[in-house]
Structure formats: structure tokens, C-alpha cells
């Protein structure tokens, strides 16, 4: 997640980095999340594997990213909508490879918190997506302490292929979410656009937006604010409450 802003002396906190941007007197502000997409791959391999028909048929789609995304997100769209927002109080921490922002700790790990007898696999899978969105909200709030972030937010990457995830991100962050066509390829598209500016095909950076139109807009559902805000407050406390235990197990 990055924000382009005027270059200035900024006291970096919460492990948010800045790098010089292409345009003069501007830079990119980054908050890095280690395992967002990888958390979903973990879901595919360890929670959803025995329930997705295409995998039961032993079709190898993992070598084709396009098919992997489509199959996985089709399943998620169909399945997690059966679980109520908030996943029945279950919270997942997406720190499967440590974490960088808003705290840096290689010992941090993923966990499901607050599992009860009525908790099923559907709630667990939904909790994973909600946990990723909670963490994105946390990073946005940290960025806001330094510089005002935008509303709407442009959501890109494989996660933006799912309408369910897009709406969930809007509901959890309270921001309007925009997506573009083929969001999983946006890095390559951006690189091509910058090359276009360098070659003079596109006159200046600000004109790039005219070549990458928004194809979907998702607005927050106020009715879900209470449950998501409650879970989010607990989510942020889980690291502090378990920091020493993570170190004891993983250092």
C-alpha cells in the first residue's frame, strides 16, 4: 500500500518506509504486509483443499496463476458469504511470515482467536480475509498519522479479483474501494505506463490515470461498522498480548 506525496523530512514510525518517486520533489510512502496473498494460498492448501470440486478432481491449476486466482476466488465468493460478517467473533492474524508494519517482529505468527463449538470452516476462511483487511486498515491508520491518505482507495493485486473481498475491505476500512481491470497485472501495467511517459507516448505522469479506468466501485455498509469495529479493536491488541509468547516459541 503506497501513497505519493510531496518530499519532506518525515520522522518514520510504525515501520513505514519512503522512497524517491519518479517525479521531482515527490516520494512513495510504503506500509508493507508480508503475507496477504500468502494467507489465501494457505487457506487453499490447508482449509479449502478438500472442499473445492476442481481440486477434488485432481486438476493441477497451481502452475497457472490466472486459473488459480479465478478458482480460489470463485470458491471464496460462494462460501464465505454463508458466514456472518465478523465470523462469529473469530479473528485471524495474517502474520504467517512475521510482520513488518505497523510493528516489525519476525517472531509474530498467524493464529485463530476465539474459536468456539459453533465455529466451522466457513467462519475460519472468512476470518482469514477479515484479518487481512483489519491489517490493511491498521496500516492505513498509521499512514494517516503522517500524511492524509486518499478516499477512495485503489485496491490492486489478486485480492481485488473478488467482489466479496472488495466489499469487505470497504466495510472494514470505511473507505470507498476502487478496482481496475485485471488488477493482478497492475504492476506490469504501471511499469509499461511509466515507460510510455519516458518515451513521450504519454505526456506526463498525471495522464496515466486516463489509460487505466476504474471498473468497479465499492462503498462501505454502515450497518456492519459495529461488528467490524469491535473485532478490529481486539485484532490490534492481539500482538501486544502475545508478543512475549511469540518470542518464547519462535525466537
**Cβ 72 vs Cβ 164: under 8 Å:** no
Q: Determine the distance from the C-alpha atom of residue 216 to the mean position of all C-alpha atoms in its chain, rounded to a whole number.
A: 17
Share of the chain above pLDDT 90, in %: 43
Q: How many domains does the chain have?
A: 1
Question: What would the mean pLDDT of 206-216 be, rounded to a whole number?
Answer: 87
pLDDT number for residue 22: 74
pLDDT number for residue 67: 55
Structural domain span for residue 8: 2-250
| Listed residue (164, 168, 159, 163) closest to 186, CA to CA | 159
pLDDT band at 55 (very low <50, low <70, confident <90, very high): very low
**CA 6 vs CA 139, 153, 196: distances in Å:** 20, 19, 23
Predicted TM-score of the model (pTM)? 0.83
Q: Report the range out of 2-6, 77-81, 201-205 with the highest average pLDDT.
A: 201-205
Residue 94 has pLDDT above 70, yes or no: yes
**Cβ 1 vs Cβ 132: under 8 Å:** no
Rounded to whole angstroms, the Cα distance separating 20 from 27 reads 4
Please report how many Cα atoms fall inside a 13 Å half-sphere around the Cα of residue 89, on the Cβ side: 6
Rounded to whole angstroms, the Cα distance separating 76 from 159 reads 11
Strand 177-180, strand 153-154: pairing: parallel
Q: Domain containing 155 — which CATH number?
A: 3.30.420.40
Q: Determine the distance from the C-alpha atom of residue 203 to the mean position of all C-alpha atoms in its chain, rounded to a whole number.
A: 32
Amino acid at each position: 500500500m503506497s501513497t505519493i506525496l510531496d518530499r519532506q523530512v518525515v520522522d518514520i514510525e510504525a515501520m513505514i518506509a519512503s522512497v524517491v518517486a519518479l517525479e521531482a520533489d515527490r516520494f512513495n510512502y510504503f506500509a508493507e504486509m508480508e503475507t496477504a496473498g500468502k494467507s489465501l494460498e494457505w487457506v487453499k492448501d490447508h482449509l479449502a483443499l478438500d472442499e473445492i470440486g476442481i481440486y477434488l478432481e485432481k486438476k493441477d491449476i497451481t502452475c497457472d496463476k490466472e486459473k488459480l486466482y479465478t478458482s480460489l476466488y470463485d470458491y471464496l465468493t460462494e462460501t464465505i458469504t454463508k458466514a456472518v460478517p465478523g465470523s462469529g467473533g473469530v479473528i485471524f492474524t495474517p502474520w504467517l511470515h512475521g510482520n513488518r508494519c505497523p510493528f516489525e517482529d519476525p517472531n509474530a505468527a498467524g493464529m485463530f482467536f476465539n474459536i468456539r463449538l459453533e465455529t466451522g470452516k466457513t467462519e475460519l476462511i472468512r476470518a482469514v480475509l477479515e484479518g487481512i483487511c483489519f491489517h490493511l486498515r491498521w496500516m492505513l491508520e498509521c499512514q494517516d498519522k503522517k500524511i492524509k491518505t486518499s478516499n477512495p482507495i485503489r485496491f490492486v493485486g489478486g485480492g481485488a479479483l473478488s467482489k466479496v473481498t472488495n466489499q469487505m475491505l470497504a466495510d472494514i476500512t470505511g473507505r470507498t474501494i476502487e478496482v481496475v481491470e485485471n488488477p493482478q497485472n497492475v504492476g506490469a501495467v504501471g511499469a509499461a505506463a511509466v515507460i510510455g511517459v519516458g518515451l513521450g507516448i504519454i505526456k506526463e505522469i498525471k495522464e496515466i490515470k486516463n489509460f487505466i479506468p476504474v471498473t468497479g466501485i465499492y462503498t462501505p455498509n454502515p450497518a456492519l461498522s459495529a461488528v467490524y469495529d469491535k473485532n478490529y479493536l481486539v485484532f490490534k491488541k492481539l500482538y501486544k498480548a502475545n508478543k512475549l509468547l511469540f518470542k518464547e516459541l519462535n525466537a
